[in-house]
Amino acid sequence: MSENEKDDGPVAGPTPPLSKAKRQTNRRRFLRTALLTGGVLGAALSGFLPLIYAKKKRLRPPGALDEKDFLGSCIKCGQCVQVCPVSAIKLADLVDGMGVGTPYIDPRRQACDFSCDAVQCILACPTGSLTYHKPDFLAVRAGAALKAKPILLAKEKDAEPTLNMTERIGVARLSRPEACLATQGKGFKGQARGADFTGELRYMDVDRWKPIRVSEHPYDVPECDLCVRACPIKGAISIETVMAPNGSQHKSPVVHEPCVGCGVCEMICPVEPACITIEAGEVWKI
C-alpha cells in the first residue's frame, strides 16, 4: 500500500497495454482469488451436513418446526437457551451434524420439564422457528397435532392449566420393555440416576419455582413408576396391566395421546440405558 507520490494530472489518459510482469501478477491474483472462493465454498458446503443428517431425527425444543423448516428459519442466537430454567436446551457444535449453533435437547441428560410454566423458549424465539402455531403455508403432519392443549400437572389448579403447545416434538416409547422394572414387578429405592447425575427436575411438593437436582430427591417405591410420577403432562403416561402374548399378565408403562415428547420419562428412568426413550419428531399413531 505504498503512497502514490507521482504527480500527474487529474484526467487519466488512454490505458496503456499491460506489461508482461503486470499480466503475470494479475494471473496470480486471479488464481489466488479462485483458491479462496473454492476454500470458502468448500467450507460452506459443510453447512449441508445437517440437511443430510436431518434424516436422523433430533429432539428440538418445544414448538419447533419440522426439521427442514427449522434449519431454514433458526437464526442461531440461543435466546431459547437463555430462558430455559433447567438448561435443557443446548446448541449444536460443528461435529454434531445438526447445524452449528442450532438448539436441541438431549433428554437423557436434561429433559424439558416445563418448569417455566409457559414454554418460554417459544416466546423467546425471534424468527418463529419455535412457535405455538405453524404459519398457514406449513403443513401439520398427521399425528403431530395434539388433540387438546396439554394440561400441565403443575398448573392443574390454575385458571389456565394448559400449555399453549399445539404440536408434539416427539413421542415416548417403551424401547426396552424387557429391562423395565415395572414390567419385572420390581420396586426402586435410592437416587434415580445416581449421585453424580446433574439433571434437574421440578418437584411440586418441594418448590414450584425452583427445580432441584434429581440426585437430591431419592425415591422409595415398592413398584417402579418413576416415569409416571415425573411426567409433567396430565394423562400422558400411566402404569397399566398388560397381557403378554403367552397369556401372562404384568405391569407396564403405557404412553397415551397427550404425550408431547418432553423427555422427562427418559431422563428419570433408573435403568441404564433408559427403558423408555423419546422418538424425536415422531407422531401419534393409533
Partner 1 sequence: MSDVLKRRFTEQIKIMFGWEPRKPEKITERAQQVHIMKRMTNKQDLQATKSHMRAHEVKSTKWRNRRWITLIAANLLFTLSFSLDIQILEGALTASRFVGFHLIDLNSALQVMLAHKHIINNLIIGTGTVLLLWGLLGGRTFCSWVCPYHLLAEWAEKLHLFLAKKKLVTDQTMDRRLRTVFWVIFALLALGTGYTVYEAISPTGIVSRALVYGPGLALLWVLALLFFEVFFSRRAWCRYACPIGLTYGVVGIISPVRIKYKLDGCFHEGDCRKVCLVPHVLDTVIKGRAVDLEVPIGPDCTRCGLCVDACPTGSLTFEVKGLQKLL
Residue 93 near residue 100, CB atoms below 8 Å: yes
The CA distance from 54 to 231, in Å, is: 28
In the numeric block, the cell 427442514 is attached to 68
Question: What type of residue is 124?
Answer: A
Residue 162: what are its φ and ψ, rounded to 5°? Answer: -95, 160
Considering the complex, state which of residue 79 and residue 184 has its C-beta at the smaller distance from partner 1.
Answer: 79
CA 152 centroid distance within chain: 20
Instruction: In angstroms, give the least distance from the CB of 115 to partner 1.
Output: 15
- Contact letters for partner 1, residues 15-44 (x by CB under 8 A): --------------xx-xx--xx--xx-xx
Q: Is 269 helix (H, G, I), strand (E, B) or coil?
A: coil
Considering the complex, state which of residue 57 and residue 229 has its C-beta at the smaller distance from partner 1.
Answer: 57
Q: Does residue 133 touch partner 1 according to CB under 8 A? A: no
Which grid cell sits at 200? 434437574
Q: Does residue 68 touch partner 1 according to CB under 8 A? A: yes
Q: Kind and range of the H or E element at 27?
A: helix 20-45
Considering the complex, state which of residue 50 and residue 199 has its C-beta at the smaller distance from partner 1.
Answer: 50
The CA distance from 259 to 171, in Å, is: 6
- By CB under 8 A, name the one of 53, 57, 66, 73 that touches partner 1: 73
- By CB under 8 A, name the one of 59, 64, 74, 146 that touches partner 1: 74
- Please give the residue ranges that form the binding site for partner 1 (CB under 8 A): 1-12, 29-30, 32-33, 36-37, 40-41, 43-48, 50-51, 68-69, 71-79, 81-83, 91, 93-95, 99-101, 124-128, 131, 135, 137-138
